[in-house]
Amino acid sequence: DWHHDIVSSDDKIYTFVGSSLMIVDTANGEIHREISAAELLKWAWDSDLYIFDARRKKLFSEKNLSKSNLVNLFYPDPFHFNKADILTADNADRYDIFEAGDILLSLRELNLVVVVRPSTESIIWYRYGLTQAQHDATFNDGHIDVFDNNSSSTPPEPRIVRLNLERNVSETLFNLADWGMVMRAKGNFELNGNQLLVTDDEAGRMIYGSMDGEIQFVFENTFLKVGTESTNLALRNAAEIPPERVQEFEAQCVQYRTDQ
């Protein structure tokens, strides 16, 4: 059950299998490290934190907690990990409280966003309850930004949210309902300065525009069109490729054809 986002950093791929974070070597496909939810619970307990288990430590001891029996101690899918983002050495100096190698995790079912440090097996920072069923928690230029599905809002108002690193508050950067988005679940985005790229998953649509609300480009993932009515296939993610990267790709293709 490999699932959700795949993030590549420093020759490693980060993704999930069930309730475990998997770190995979891109060179040979071998699993470099696995960090299970059971381990995260223990890291938190070491700091007297119960953010992963709602104080259920009272119901069982550390001795009988393991990856294999975790599902028997909690209801099915109690965490729903949906994003891991890695703080790289190039970006670490933008953060005062984090360091290179720290991992940002989003746990949908707990409305929890947390930063862990595998090198010391510790919990560095977390925000609980400021988002609801959130996705795509991201280290972004000295900030932590999140696709907040805000799933109980009426009418639906999914939004891009910035979590304050020092205080337990959040700031709404953009209300995606302004672009006609519902998104009770799923969601990915890229925020680059004043430019926002977002996928409207189930609608099969990608929207690119500015943070003042101007839509500059829309891609419809059309599968079937009858008259004026269209049916779109789901669109899970989109990424902006800078012009210089496109030039690098083109150069690689030219070199490949030359070598052949």
Mind listing the pLDDT tens digit for each residue in 186-214?
999 999 999 999 999 989 999 999 999 99
Contact (Cβ atoms closer than 8 angstroms) between residue 43 and residue 60: no
Q: What is the average pLDDT value for the chain, to the nearest integer?
A: 92
Residue 106 structure tokens: 């989003």
The helix or strand, by DSSP H or E, that contains position 72, with its residue range, turns out to be: helix 70-73
Confidence class for position 128, pLDDT limits 50, 70, 90? very high
What is the pLDDT averaged over residues 165-173?
Answer: 98
The helix or strand, by DSSP H or E, that contains position 100, with its residue range, turns out to be: none
DSSP designation for 186: -
Q: What would the 3-class secondary structure string for 151-211 be?
A: CCCCCCCCEEEEECCCCCCEEEEEEHHHHCCCCCCCCCEEEECCEEEEEECCCCEEEEEEC
pLDDT at 120: 97
Task: State how far the Cα of 242 lies from the Cα of 15, in Å rounded to an integer.
Answer: 24
Contact (Cβ atoms closer than 8 angstroms) between residue 147 and residue 157: no
Contact (Cβ atoms closer than 8 angstroms) between residue 38 and residue 18: no
The helix or strand, by DSSP H or E, that contains position 91, with its residue range, turns out to be: helix 89-92
Contact (Cβ atoms closer than 8 angstroms) between residue 184 and residue 151: yes
Q: What is the pTM of this model?
A: 0.90
